[in-house]
A = this chain, B = another copy of it.
């Protein structure tokens, strides 16, 4: 038998709550989805990905395009790599980054379109 030690929830509509609760997804899954959104939810990372959607770029070029330090860019690229949103290939001393798959492109487009429509 369940017992809430939080003494609230007097007003709960049991049927509605039960209904929605049954339709909720795994907590773990929500976490993954939001974690994915989070990658796009920071303007520096979004700009990096947008730039890469135009063409593959090395770190230095990205820094120039965004007018930011190489270090800052590298750190964000690391985050994006960790989420499998970008990949890279070496070419001599340089490292060229590119978007990991079409999902990234369509996610950006989706966000851009929806934001435009909201204006």
Contact = CB atoms under 8 A, between A and B. Distances in A.
A112 interface: yes
A71 B31 CA distance: 21
The contact size tier of chain A is 35 or more
Interface in A1-59: 6, 8-13, 16-17, 19-21, 23-25, 27, 29-43, 45-47, 50-51, 54-55, 57-58
Interface string A83-113: 0100000000110000000010011001110
Interface of A: 6, 8-13, 16-17, 19-21, 23-25, 27, 29-43, 45-47, 50-51, 54-55, 57-58, 60-61, 63-65, 69-70, 84, 93-94, 103, 106-107, 110-112, 114-115, 117-118
Contacts of A57: 16-17, 20
| Number of this chain's copies in the complex | 2
A112 B70 CA distance: 33
6 contacts: A9-B64, A12-B64, A17-B65, A24-B50, A34-B41, A34-B42
